[in-house]
Amino acid sequence: MSTDFETVIGLEIHTQLLTRSKIFCGCPNRFGAAPNTQICPVCAAFPGVLPVLNRAVLDMAIRTGLAVNGQIRLRNEFARKNYFYPDLPAGYQISQFELPIVEHGELIIEPEGAPSRRIGITRIHMEVDAGKNLHEGIQGASWVDLNRTGTPLLEIVSEPDLRSAAEAGAYLKKLRSIVRYLEVCDGNMEEGSFRCDANVSVRPRGAERFGTRAEVKNLNSIRNVMRAIEYEAQRQIDLIESGGKVVQETRLWDANQNLTRSMRGKEEAHDYRYFPEPDLPPVVIAPERIAAIRATMPELPDAKARRFRDTLGLSEYDAGVLTASHELAGYFEATLAGAAPADAKSVANWVTGDLLGRINKEGLEITASPVPAQALGALIAMIQENVISGKIAKTVFALLWEQGGGDPRRIVAEKGLNQVTDQGAIEAEVDRILALHPEKIAQYQAGKSQLLGFFVGEIMKATRGKANPGVVNELLKNRLQTS
């Protein structure tokens, strides 16, 4: 007998902030330096040192809170979370607990092929990252690298509102895109600057109460988060159906074997003996500061997509693709600016089609596109101005790509690719081709109208794609009627 189960998911995300210095000292906040070269007595938690809050961290927390429609707590407080681990020299982490900086936020997600939904964001709080224990390639010992201690983090905690792996994936994509638009985090899951823990439980469909959750860690891509949720939900269902009980615990995702395994029993909040951080005063924020930050907020992906649809007339799909990252949206807008008199739709077609096709095929980022937005814009403008045909434009695009940019107008002029719109020149070509095919003319005039395409093709071939197809069509139709 099998009951129908519903999966319930809440995500905890740790974002490393892109500040220049660390959260409580002046050390550089930089990834990749030689071990223990980016540290000071504060990082190493020498006795007697005192933390001082980096104001850039506070500003980024406010920006992120505003972006998810959260309430900014004007008086918030740091708390000490006590636990022992070799990469945590202080023996505690400075975090926020009862009075976090942001509460009651939300994110609208649009999972593919499913209705959009509002997902609650319980809280966002500021905290400090720990160091790293190194085990790999070391014999009979473990080393500790404290470079990462003091890296500022925002922990973003969702309500248990997500109901499937697909929704969790959509939530992660949307949130990652927002922190990138805000330039508060690079969103790199592989390098660990955007880390996700997934809390997963199941319950019989229709039940009120949530089931017991397991927290899954070690998820370094959106794909792995989705796979882990699917595996974990099924594991819990199988367990319940065979008469077992889910226990609250922390589990690790094993991407090679495609399964989660128990790591440790889940700590409860009281295990951490939280108390207000005595070394830092409460954070008091002036409303003017929030207003000032609000005034510098960039246009976020949802608003941008709405504008692309409503003002530029793009399809829902194109608007979604083009706003997925602020770099791509920026590329599109720069292309559009240079493409007048062409319209937004043709620019969107070029960017999502020829350009992104090539970018994806070669595994590049849009920021590394060999064809600059200005060049692509000028190319599209030339099509609209009838200087070149769409077909020739593809040839010029390939040239721009190969030579890493350049002026498309120069290329067209130098290679003599200008479209022939000269009526007389095209007429001569039309007459020449028609003279070669009297039997086809007869067939056309007897009703085989699809032969028009054959004639157009022959003329385009003869002019190496340079004849204006509109003019060719007009002339042909005239000639074929009267001859």
Q: 9 vs 393, which CB is nearer to ligand ADP? A: 9
* Shortest CB 216 distance to Mg ion, Å: 10
- List residues binding ligand ADP (CB under 6 A): 8-12, 157-160, 199-201, 210-211, 213, 215
Whose CB is nearest to Mg ion? Answer: 12
DSSP 212-239: --EEEEEE-SHHHHHHHHHHHHHHHHHH
- Sign of dihedral through CA atoms 205, 208, 213, 217? positive
Q: What is the C-alpha separation between 306 and 2, in angstroms, rounded?
A: 44
Q: Which residue in the set 8, 13, 17, 43 belongs to the binding site for Zn ion (CB under 5 A)?
A: 43
Q: What is the C-alpha separation between 179 and 105, in angstroms, rounded?
A: 14
Q: 132 vs 217, which CB is nearer to ligand ADP? A: 217
Q: What is the C-alpha separation between 287 and 298, in angstroms, rounded?
A: 19
Residue 10 site contact among Mg ion, ligand ADP, Zn ion, none (CB < 5 to 8 Å, cut-off depends on kind)? ligand ADP
Q: 16 vs 389, which CB is nearer to ligand ADP? A: 16
Residue 354 carries which side chain, given as an amino acid letter? D
* Shortest CB 258 distance to Mg ion, Å: 23
Q: 12 vs 474, which CB is nearer to Mg ion? A: 12
Residue 399 site contact among Zn ion, Mg ion, ligand ADP, none (CB < 5 to 8 Å, cut-off depends on kind)? none
Q: 155 vs 318, which CB is nearer to ligand ADP? A: 155
Residue 476 site contact among ligand ADP, Mg ion, Zn ion, none (CB < 5 to 8 Å, cut-off depends on kind)? none
Pairing of strands 92-95, 71-72: unpaired
Q: What is the C-alpha separation between 59 and 61, in angstroms, rounded?
A: 5
Which one, of 312, 68, 17, 61, lies nearest residue 187 by Cα?
Answer: 17
Residue 7 site contact among ligand ADP, Mg ion, Zn ion, none (CB < 5 to 8 Å, cut-off depends on kind)? none
**Which residues, 6 or more positions from 366, have their beta carbon under 8 angstroms from its beta carbon?**
325, 327, 328, 331, 356, 359
Residue 27 sits in the site that holds Zn ion (CB under 5 A): yes
- Sign of dihedral through CA atoms 174, 177, 182, 187? positive
**Which residues, 6 or more positions from 463, have their beta carbon under 8 angstroms from its beta carbon?**
420, 426, 429
Residue 392 site contact among ligand ADP, Zn ion, Mg ion, none (CB < 5 to 8 Å, cut-off depends on kind)? none
Residue 228 sits in the site that holds Zn ion (CB under 5 A): no
Pairing of strands 132-134, 143-145: antiparallel
Residue 159 site contact among ligand ADP, Mg ion, Zn ion, none (CB < 5 to 8 Å, cut-off depends on kind)? ligand ADP
Q: CA-CA distances (angstroms) from residue 87 to 21, 206, 453?
A: 20, 44, 72
Residue 42 site contact among ligand ADP, Mg ion, Zn ion, none (CB < 5 to 8 Å, cut-off depends on kind)? Zn ion
**Which residues, 6 or more positions from 145, have their beta carbon under 8 angstroms from its beta carbon?**
35, 36, 87, 131, 132, 133, 134
* Shortest CB 272 distance to ligand ADP, Å: 9
- The two tokens of residue 66 are 């505003």
Q: Which residue in the set 40, 334, 456, 462 belongs to the binding site for Zn ion (CB under 5 A)?
A: 40
Whose CB is nearest to ligand ADP? Answer: 10
Q: 40 vs 99, which CB is nearer to Zn ion? A: 40
Residue 405 site contact among ligand ADP, Zn ion, Mg ion, none (CB < 5 to 8 Å, cut-off depends on kind)? none
Q: 12 vs 427, which CB is nearer to Mg ion? A: 12
Residue 57 sits in the site that holds Zn ion (CB under 5 A): no
Residues contacting Zn ion: total by CB under 5 A: 5
Question: CB–CB of 477/452 below 8 Å?
Answer: yes
User: Site residues for Mg ion, window 4-33 (CB under 5 A)?
Assistant: 12
Q: 199 vs 335, which CB is nearer to Mg ion? A: 199
* Shortest CB 150 distance to Zn ion, Å: 5
Q: Which residue in the set 11, 42, 200, 400 belongs to the binding site for Zn ion (CB under 5 A)?
A: 42
Residue 43 site contact among Mg ion, ligand ADP, Zn ion, none (CB < 5 to 8 Å, cut-off depends on kind)? Zn ion
* Shortest CB 142 distance to ligand ADP, Å: 25
> Strand, helix or coil at 454?
helix
Q: Per DSSP, what are the bridge partners of residue 13?
A: 156, 196
Q: Residue written as tokens 């081709």? A: 433
Q: 180 vs 251, which CB is nearer to Mg ion? A: 251
Which one, of 251, 253, 247, 248, lies nearest residue 268 by Cα?
Answer: 248
Residues lying near Mg ion in the complex (CB under 5 A):
12
Residues lying near Zn ion in the complex (CB under 5 A):
25, 27, 40, 42-43
